[in-house]
């Protein structure tokens, strides 16, 4: 090896060791840290926080849940580090479940603490839970140690590949609406027992407090007006029909002088299942079913909006439509007074794909 080659190699080595983050003072041995993916927060006794963490295994040790009772979230991290042989690393946290009881009391103290931690990602998924989530996780990790990772992947799946099927909210999105001059935040709500973790619906917040959880019908109407305006399936048992591949296009208008909100929504979908008495191969009867579906959804969506008005929440950011092109944006205090008094008019126009000849032949 020539002296020039040796000099080049030594120079490269020097650069590597001088690079920030490579110092022995900055890195951690993997066996000495605990990268947590999922954690839960509940209201404990005597006003204390009950924090549960799923600690990943390294080597031959088993995955386990550790529950701490503490007055402060930061103190919980210190308590974990004092009582466990590996240091807690918050940067890998991906999902935070908060109990319904805690969410109804107000989440701002917890959110403020989370935001103060620069190592936590703003893409941290937030959710509310009912029931025994800790019992569900305790039972599942015995058979499936990767249950926390699967829950995280489930959030990512519904966020990117199945929008509209489940409300998915990360820390950044929650805070965006929390500090919005007009909109209110939402979070997904789950029901847990020893054997199942199921999606219940969208939780509506007034500032930082959970005030209501949407029913199944309300959830469907909400998702069609929410971000993605689509559903894989829309079930309408009252009309004995289920449609799929639902795409909605809405036009919202807010008339402050007339105290009126008008929503015109066009829906395109295809019939997946029908158990009614109409002959859907007859264009006239198919048109009648379209009108029936539109009228039913008009009624259900108006009911949903009235509920939001009674709760004095605006998760759909309707207030942003209250200002014209050459008008200043309406103040939150003014919209909070006007919104509950607004008359809401909803008009759905439904277009269903005609039934194919193959369906005709199967009759």
- 189 and 280: one domain? no
pLDDT bin (cut points 50, 70, 90) of residue 209 is very high
Q: State pLDDT tens for residues 66-78.
A: 887 776 555 555 5
**Could you tell me if residue 312 is inside a domain?**
yes
The answer to whether residue 128 is domain-embedded is yes
User: What global pTM score does this model have?
Assistant: 0.84
Query: Which pLDDT score is estimated for 355?
Result: 58
- 271 and 132 in one domain? no
- Which residues make Cβ contacts (< 8 Å) with residue 287, sequence separation at least 6? none
At residue 12, the pLDDT reads 43
| CATH number for 256 | 3.30.300.210
C-alpha 48, offset from chain centre: 26
| CA–CA gap between residue 65 and residue 35 (Å, rounded) | 13
**Residue partners of 61: CB distance under 8 A and separation at least 6:** none
Three-class SS of residue 25? coil
pLDDT at 354: 63
Mean pLDDT of 26-48: 65
* Whether residue 272 sits in one domain with residue 195: no
Is the confidence at residue 18, as pLDDT, over 50?
A: no
Same structural domain for residues 205 and 254?
no
Is 2 contained in some domain?
no
- Which residue, 192, 131, 202, is CA-closest to 167? 202
Tell me how many domains the chain contains: 2
Under a CB-based contact definition with an 8 Å cutoff, are residues 167 and 204 in contact?
no
Coil/strand/helix, residue 161: coil
Residue 227 pLDDT > 90: no
Please indicate, yes or no, whether residues 206 and 251 belong to a single structural domain of this protein: no
Classify the C-alpha dihedral 249-254-258-261 as positive or negative.
Answer: positive
Could you list the residue range(s) of the whole structural domain that residue 127 is in?
31-213
Grade residue 83 by pLDDT with cuts at 50, 70 and 90.
low
Asked if residue 18 belongs to a domain, the reply is: no
Instruction: Give the length of the chain.
Output: 363
**Is 17 a domain residue?**
no
- Can you give the pLDDT at residue 164? 82
* Separation of alpha carbons 189 and 204, rounded Å: 10
Q: Measure the CA–CA gap between 159 and 356, rounded to whole angstroms.
A: 32
The encoded tokens of residue 136 equal 């569900």
Does any domain span residue 37?
Answer: yes
* pLDDT interval class at 142 (50, 70, 90): confident
Residue finishing a domain among 213, 232, 265? 213
Tokens representing 13? 């080595």
Mean pLDDT computed over every residue of the chain: 82
């Amino acid at each position: 090896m020539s002296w020039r080659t040796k000099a080049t190699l030594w120079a490269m080595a020097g650069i590597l060791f001088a690079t920030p983050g490579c110092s022995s003072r900055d890195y951690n041995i993997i066996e000495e840290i605990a990268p947590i993916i999922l954690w839960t927060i509940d209201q404990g006794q005597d006003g204390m926080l009950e924090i549960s963490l799923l600690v990943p295994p390294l080597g031959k040790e088993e995955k386990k849940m550790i529950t701490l009772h503490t007055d402060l979230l930061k103190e919980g991290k210190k308590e974990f580090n004092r009582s466990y042989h590996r240091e807690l690393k918050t940067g890998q946290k991906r999902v935070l479940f908060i109990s319904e009881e805690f969410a109804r009391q107000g989440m701002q103290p917890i959110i403020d603490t989370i935001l103060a931690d620069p190592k936590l990602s703003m893409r941290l998924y937030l959710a509310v839970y009912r029931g025994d989530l800790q019992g569900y996780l305790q039972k599942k990790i015995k058979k499936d140690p990767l249950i926390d990772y699967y829950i995280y992947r489930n959030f990512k799946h519904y966020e990117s590949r199945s929008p509209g099927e489940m409300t998915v909210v990360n820390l950044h999105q929650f805070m965006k609406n929390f500090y919005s001059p007009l909109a209110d935040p939402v979070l997904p709500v789950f029901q847990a027992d020893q054997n199942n973790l199921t999606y219940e619906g969208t939780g509506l917040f007034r500032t930082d407090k959970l005030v209501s959880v949407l029913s199944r019908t309300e959830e469907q109407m909400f998702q069609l007006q929410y971000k993605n305006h689509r559903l894989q399936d829309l079930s309408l048992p009252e009309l004995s029909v289920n449609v799929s591949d639902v795409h909605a296009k809405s036009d919202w208008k807010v008339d402050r002088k007339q105290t009126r909100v008008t929503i015109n929504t066009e829906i395109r979908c295809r019939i997946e299942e029908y158990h009614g008495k109409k002959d859907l191969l007859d264009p006239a009867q198919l048109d009648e079913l379209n009108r029936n579906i539109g009228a039913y959804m008009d009624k259900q969506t108006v009911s949903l909006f009235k509920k939001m008005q009674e709760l004095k929440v605006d998760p759909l950011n309707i207030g942003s439509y209250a200002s014209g092109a050459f008008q200043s944006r309406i103040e939150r205090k003014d919209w909070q007074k006007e919104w509950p008094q607004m008359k809401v008019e909803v008009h759905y126009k439904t277009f269903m794909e005609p039934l194919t000849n193959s369906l005709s032949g199967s009759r």
